[in-house]
Structure formats: C-alpha cells, structure tokens
Amino acid sequence: MSAYKMLINGELVAGDQTMDVINPATEGVLASCPRASENQLNSAVAAAQAAFPAWSATSIEERKKVVNAIADVIEANAAELAQILTQEQGKPLADATGEVYGMAAFCRYFTSLDLPVKVLEDSEGKRVEAHRKPLGVVAAIVPWNFPLILMAFKLPPALIAGNTLVVKPAATTPLSTLRLGELIKDVAPPGVVNFISDANDLGGALTAHPDVRKVSFTGSTATGSKVMAGAAGLLKRITLELGGNDAGIVLDDVDPKEVAPKLFQSAFQNSGQVCIAMKRLYVHESIYDEICDELTTIANDTIVGDGLEQGTKLGPLQNKMQYERVKELIEDAATHGRIVAGGEVLDQPGYFIRPTIVRDITDGTRLVDEEQFGPVLPVISYSDVEDVVKRANHSPYGLGGSVWAKDLDRAYALAEKMDAGTVWINQHADMSPAIPFGGAKQSGLGVELGEEGLAEFTQLKIINMAR
C-alpha cells in the first residue's frame, strides 16, 4: 500500500516521524503512516488561520459547492476508502462501504441548509437582526469506531459556516482520513482543510492552541474532560460527544421472537463499539427467559471474522487496549452473572471476541455500571416499571436510551421519564443528519447534526439599530 501523507496548507507532507497502523483482524502491520510533530501541528493551525479571512468571505453558496465536491470525491473513491476502513478499523466491508456513502450523504445534507439573517424586531424605532458568523479555526478530533461518518458530523457544517479546519483522526485509525485528505487536496483552497495524524500525543496542544476558536470532539468522557480543561483557558467554544451507557427497557407486551433481532442489532452493531449502542438491557420478568434464549440463539449463530471475508457479521475489537478491557469485563461478569453465549476469544490472531450475553446479573456490577464498548450485553430482570426507570437513569451517562413495547402510549410515557439526550421507541441508535444529537449529564456538551448542529459552528451576532 502506498505511503500516506498529511495535508497541510494544500500540500501533502510526510510526518516528522512515522508510526505503524495495526490491522485488528490479523495483529499485523497494515501500513506505516506519518506522525506529526508539534511544529507540524502548529503549521496546520497557522495554515487554517491564514486561510480563514478569504474562506469566511466567500458566499455560502460557494462553500456549499466545495462541500458537494468533497462528497463527489468520496463517492467516486468509495470502494478504496471502504477497503482501507475495514482493514484499519475491523468492521465488515459492507458496513465500511455504508459508512463511506453515509459520509457523502451527510455532506450533501448540510449543503441543503442556510444561515439566514433573522429579523427579531422591525418597528418604527428599531430594527434588530440575528446573524450567524463563522468562528475561525476549528479543531475536529475524531474517534476510532467510525472515523469517516463521525468526521461528517464536523467537517461539512464547519466549512459551510465559513470556518477552516484541522482534522485529527484517532491514532489507531488514521489511514482512511489521510487518504481522504489526499483525494480532496485540490478541492478546497489551501489551508481550508488540514489533516494531521499523531500517536495520540498532540490532542492537548491542539485543543489549547491559542488560534483554535472551537474544538469539536467525539470520544471518551475522560478525554472529553481533558479537552474541556484545555479549552477553558481561552474560553473557546467546544462540542463534546462522549461516552454512554444506554439502557434499553423492554415492557411485558412485546413478542420476544419479533423484538430479539432488533435488540441484538442495537447492542452489537460494529461489535458494540458504538457510542449509542444499547449497553444494558432491562427486560420484564414475565418474558425474561424467552428474551435471553432468543438473544443467545442469535449470538451463537453470528459469524465473527475478518471484515474482508464474505459472510462476516461482526469484526474484531479495533485495538488491543479495548480488547483487553472487554475481556476483563467479561471475566468479572462471569462471577456476578451467567454467560449464556460467547464469553470466549477466537483461537486465532486478531482482537476477536464472540458476541456475549450475560444474564442473571444486576446493577452494581462493572458490566452493568460501566461502558463496555464491546460485544457484551448484560440482560437484567425487573418487575416494577417505575423502579426500572430509576435504575436506567442512575448513571453518570445520558447519551441515549430506548423503550420497547406494543402499547405506544405506555412506551411514550416511559420515554419521557428517561434522562438522556435521545430516547427511541421500538428502535435504538436510529440516526439522521437532520436530527439533532447530543448527550445529557457526562455524555456530552452541545449538539451535533441538524440546523442546531450547524449553528454550533457559528457565533451569534446581534445588530441592534435605532431609527
């Protein structure tokens, strides 16, 4: 595979150092890629800063043309980008292909939005207008579970709002991002979009950089706290989409056979490495055994393997650190509950763990209380609906949640009581670029997607004129 380069000020550059990227399905070196120095990070920020006056002065229609052109490039190179994504991230090729096309679709959605001047008052003595102005240089920090689609939460709205960008992918999944940078090198003016890769050591310098006006970060709550601290000194704008421990509540009127495949998909998509995956499942005692049995059957029938192999449904964990953490949580769960599916690693290279179902487990155990971010689902029995909502809400996280029921009125009443940024009914993790997304409590700050997500990349400016 060809050498990868970073994009700084319209030029493809090597890193001052290099680092290896591991294929999680083989544990072998997939490629060598650039590792930026702090000087190169500063160069990228300086390029974005220099490009900002001209870029922000262009019309929103011109900026939309650039974002649409980026979408064109993504679609034209979808097969290559998906292949790289599967090899560095681990997900099945069909899922990686969907992610690539999803990124293009998100880009096109944001080009459908505008930032019109809103007239708040137009009276005989006064005219008051609300304008949305660009902020400046935006740092976009993207995690390893969905490197491309999560970049699409940030890059298109930031550009359309008139900002310039420095994008930093995760250290373990930089390749698809860097390749995209190579492909769009001449699409935007030099310095408008910059891509750098690091060994997870430049985040602090980027978030605290005096010329960065906003940080848009997706990742763990622990790292989000550091981002917030780094931004605090200059009171720069931040958007944080952080960890979650989403609860699903299944009421007693569902059909176990009908609902179980949907529950399984909600928990195990991308091998559970989804911020809004269902991470703990509360099931009414009257159907508890049936739901556990159905989930066990689905888990045992699921094909786990290399994402490039035909028929693979779940790939490996993305990196060794996460793999070891999930194994540790499974080992602990075995002492507090009963593993009825999975629980074992595959006897082959790669960070593979079979989908694991743990029943007869309770709140207060690590697997229930912590975010596992892997292919393990605790299934907890309950008897009282009011009590189970309290248990679901008893978490520092509040990203998402779901209620499953035939009686929609009962489900809606319960959904209103769940303390989360998004609550789904009879589905989980349904996302659209037009639907705002943000977390409650320690799951985040600010909003992404939708008109609200675009507005987050702007400064509200009021012009108040006396006549």
Q: Most distant CA pair in the chain: distance in Å?
A: 79
What is the Cα–Cα distance from 105 to 100, expressed in whole angstroms? 9
Query: Length of the chain, please?
Result: 467
408 neighbors 453 (Cβ within 8 angstroms): no
Q: Which of 33, 99, 107, 275 is catalytic?
A: 275
Coil, helix or strand at residue 23: coil
β-pairing, 356-359 vs 376-382, is: parallel
CA-closest candidate to residue 368, choices 383, 344, 353, 388? 388
| Helix segments in 242-287, DSSP class H | 256-268
The 10 Å Cβ neighbour count of residue 425 is: 14
Decide if 292 is catalytic: no
φ/ψ (deg, to 5) at 407: -80, 100
Name residue 15's amino acid.
Answer: G
Q: What do you get for the CA distance between the two ends of the chain, in Å?
A: 66
Decide if 275 is catalytic: yes
| Helix segments in 123-236, DSSP class H | 155-160, 175-183, 203-207, 221-232
Q: Which of 241, 294, 448, 456 is catalytic?
A: 241
Q: Determine whether 293 is exposed, middle or buried from the number of CB atoms within 10 Å of its CB (0-12, 13-18, 19+).
A: middle
What is the Cα–Cα distance from 467 to 464, expressed in whole angstroms? 10
CA-closest candidate to residue 238, choices 154, 173, 171, 148? 154
Active site residues per annotation:
241, 275
